[in-house]
Chain A
Amino acid sequence: MSEKIRVVHYLNQFFAQFGGEEKADIGPGFKEGPIGPGRALEQALGQQGEVVATCFCGDNYFAEHLEEVTEELLLQMASFKPQLLIAGPAFESGRYGVACGAIGQAAQERLGIRAVAGMDAENAGTGLYRKKVYIVDSGSSVVRMATVIQRMTALGLKLVQGMPLGRPEEEGYFPRGIKRNTFAAKPPAERAVDMLLAKIRGELFESEIATPQFHHIKPAGAIRDLSSAVIALVTDGGLVTEGNPERMEPGRPTRFTTIAVEGIDRLDSKEFDVVHSGYDTAFANQDPHRLVPLDVMRELEQEGVIGKLHESIHTTGGAHAAVENATRIGQGIAERLKSAGVSGVILTST
């Protein structure tokens, strides 16, 4: 018989049986074995796992000392060598939900174990942590405790055992914003025709891909005096120094690099390369100015149209960037340019 999966359970002061709101200030602690809803958890685990310890903290104390409490709980949790953390369910309680999300994410990232939380859709913790931690939809009523614990346990066991997960609605967790493939009952062409005919008939239909939501970015104000402005060149077209010594990724970038151009008037094609998987780079390789107009910018600098060209070109390869990485790359470049006193950027894409 295989060994039982070691599970740690997180509860707030109420479910850990210290008391209600009046005990919300108690600090973090640990007890061996299950407490309160932990017994339902133990039952749900059956022969497959055991609750080795329960950790707890008052909701207010956790909210006010988020980092310290997380640190302290992780430290103690590690000594129990768990494989799975079950946090909650917290139902509608917002502070409890946030605590479950925080400890779940920390346990995953720092102890390398799996975590499952339980919360109501309206819980603040759901919005904050659903992309990081699997959160089972608990609904708002504590009456459903046993059912919710069963769902959380089933999901947790699958995660630990590396078994494939079903759809969110089958497993009962909130979608995490990660797309997955599944075999379809009908081929795409048939589904497309079905959708189009429903649309024409004015019937209800649902697009298979939701419209992405982007943050609105307020454009910076216009530069009042170009002749004293420092202008920088930035590109996501994959300009690198010859031979790509920094191994810039031609697609799916995770970082940017800089090319020093102080005292350089032209980008010699022998000294630069273009790596980018999304377009034909032959023309930019022949003459890098087709990608990054250093030559023209130097002329404008000479003529006094602009004050000064910034001393380095910031560059990355833009193909298929994950929005998260692209955002981070953009913020990184913007911070450096801003601290260097740059007031305008020529951004060339492909």
Chain B
Amino acid sequence: MRLEMGHIYIEDVRFGSRTTIEDHTLLIDRQELISLLQQEPLFDSIEIDLAHPGESCRIIYVLDVLEPRYRLNGPNFPGALEAMGLVGDGRTQALKNVSVVEVSPDQARGRNIIDMSGPVTDYSPLGATHNVVLIPHAAKGADGDEYRLAVKKAGLRAAVYLAAAAKEIAPDETQIYELPPTAFNCGPKELPRISYIFPIHSQQHPTHQRETVFYGSNIQGFLPTIVHPNEILDGALMFSYSAFTYFAQNHPVIQELYRRHERDLWFAGVVVTVAPVTIGEKQRNSYLAARLASEVLGADGVIATKIGGGAVDTDLMMIYERCEEMGVKAALIIMERYPDTGITFVPANVNALVTPGLTRDPIVLPPVERVIGGDTLFLDNTNPDNTNPGVSAIPANRELRIWVGDIVGAISQVGASRLMTYMG
């Protein structure tokens, strides 16, 4: 299967009288986009704002981030936005250097922050993209969960709407993602066959009944399955929490395996799984995922990552152990949280861990001129470790002391990060 990802490099984004791309500038008809998104009955109103690289501007309460994409030969985000269908083949237009940022006021997400200038830009690629920020205000009496899902759907809708402006535009560059069917995906003997086991969610925070995570499925009761890596890159997946969909669309592990395919490894495919909550289910999913990689994809080696909190570390370690028992070498990418806690669940034989960084590492963000997403944050600015209920609100434009992990895109569990750690 072959996916041609057309990269259209955008150098500026402005509001204009119609939505179009002219000479690498994306012009947005603000009113048309607002009308499109406002059809959602759970919204009272919706604002659209722009944040540019280098601006003294902060975006807070970030829910999800997407890269604008438009598929020329099939449905966009099937099952979640458009009618059911398949993705990962044909041609897709991608607006590079642009992000759709969803904002939803919820105390817990206040600390999902993007600054468009200052130290944040060293850590996250999302401080360097032109950000189209959606601020949907909930209608009176709207259910909190339903509203959150509606905001995420609005994000998908906006991402497709913006990239549709590139329908007729010849890409600046085309990236080809192509792998043959598994049965013919052999490669030369001397190249090790590497698969990726990808737990896309941890049910420790259960998905909502109507949540559309994978091809529109709420992934409750999900069993490990083989997918084509192109599907992940092309809109099959929208993360539920703890990860931003931008990094599924630009998945670092899948892109790295493609980059080195036929060079020093053979990309032997992807197994998608979910971290369930009971021991029996965790065992079952890790057995099945490892078996698919080992016996169906014929992998010599497996990279695995996780999404979610500390509970899913156990699933990741089980996947590692099952793979090694089956004779498949494994390496894990696993995020570290506290400087003094470490990773709690590491069996003695687990010897290949890569860290995308430590989330609870304090960072000071300088004051900004403008804040998008709200005026205040619930934050103990003397001690970001303080999660006590009743932390009072502070103005969001002032100097903030937060964790590196609070910066959207600084440390992603699928490996989007510029960091590593050392024992100091």
Contact = CB atoms under 8 A, between A and B. Distances in A.
Interface of A: 165, 167-168, 175-184, 187-193, 195-197, 199-201, 205, 207-212, 244, 247, 249-252, 275, 277-280, 319-324
B329 interface: yes
B154 to A, nearest CB: 25
Interface stretch (B156-164, B214-222, B333-341): B333-341
7 contacts: A179-B424, A189-B253, A192-B332, A195-B352, A199-B352, A207-B351, A207-B352
Majority secondary structure of chain A interface residues (helix, strand, loop or mixed): loop
A187 B252 contact: yes
A249 B419 contact: no
Given A197-B264, A211-B350, A188 B356 contact: yes
B342 to A, nearest CB: 5
Contacts of A320: 310, 337-338, 341
Interface of B: 122, 192, 194, 204-206, 252-253, 255-257, 260, 264-265, 300-303, 309-311, 329-334, 336-344, 346-348, 350-358, 361, 385, 387-390, 404, 415-424
Contacts of A210: 423
A199 B331 contact: yes
Contacts of B421: 179-182, 208-209
Contact of A208 (B252, B341, B353, B389): B353
B421 to A, nearest CB: 5
Contacts of B260: 193
Given A175-B423, A180-B421, A192-B331, A197 B301 contact: yes
Given A189-B252, A324-B340, A247 B390 contact: yes
B340 A322 contact: yes
Contact of A179 (B331, B342, B347, B352): B342
A195 B331 contact: yes
Contacts of B342: 179, 209, 212, 323
A252 B389 contact: no
Contacts of A181: 357-358, 361, 404, 419-421
B216 to A, nearest CB: 22
B278 to A, nearest CB: 12
Contacts of A189: 252-253, 255-256, 303, 333, 415
A251 B346 CA distance: 21
Given A179-B422, A200-B301, A249 B387 contact: yes
Nearest to A279: B204
Quick one: which of B310, B419, B424 has the most chain A CB within 10 A? B424
A188 B339 contact: no
Contact of A184 (B192, B332, B385, B418): B418
A195 B329 CA distance: 10
Nearest to B361: A181
B330 A196 contact: yes
A277 B265 contact: no
Contact of B329 (A184, A196, A250): A196
B252 to A, nearest CB: 4
A251 to B, nearest CB: 5
B388 A249 contact: yes
A182 B331 contact: no
Given A277-B387, A278-B309, A322-B340, A192 B333 contact: yes
Quick one: which of B302, B334, B351 has the most chain A CB within 10 A? B351
A197 B267 CA distance: 12
B357 A208 contact: no
Given A175-B424, A179-B423, A180-B421, A209 B343 contact: yes
A197 B302 CA distance: 10
A187 B415 contact: yes
Contacts of B311: 278-279
B407 to A, nearest CB: 11
Contacts of B420: 181-184, 188, 191, 208
A179 B205 CA distance: 27
Given A187-B252, A209-B353, A249-B387, A200 B206 contact: no
Contacts of A183: 122, 418-420
Nearest to A321: B341
A181 B405 CA distance: 11
B379 to A, nearest CB: 15
B180 to A, nearest CB: 21
Contacts of A212: 342-344, 346
B384 to A, nearest CB: 11
A207 to B, nearest CB: 5
A252 to B, nearest CB: 6
B419 A182 contact: yes
Closest 8 CB pairs of A and B: A189-B256, A184-B420, A196-B331, A188-B415, A189-B252, A180-B424, A209-B353, A175-B423
Contacts of B309: 278, 319
A67 to B, nearest CB: 27
A192 B416 CA distance: 12
Contacts of B416: 187-188
Contacts of A167: 422, 424
A249 B383 CA distance: 14
A23 to B, nearest CB: 38
A251 B386 CA distance: 9
Contact of A196 (B301, B339, B346, B355): B301
B356 A176 contact: no
B415 A209 contact: no
Nearest to B347: A211
A249 B330 CA distance: 37
Nearest to A186: B420
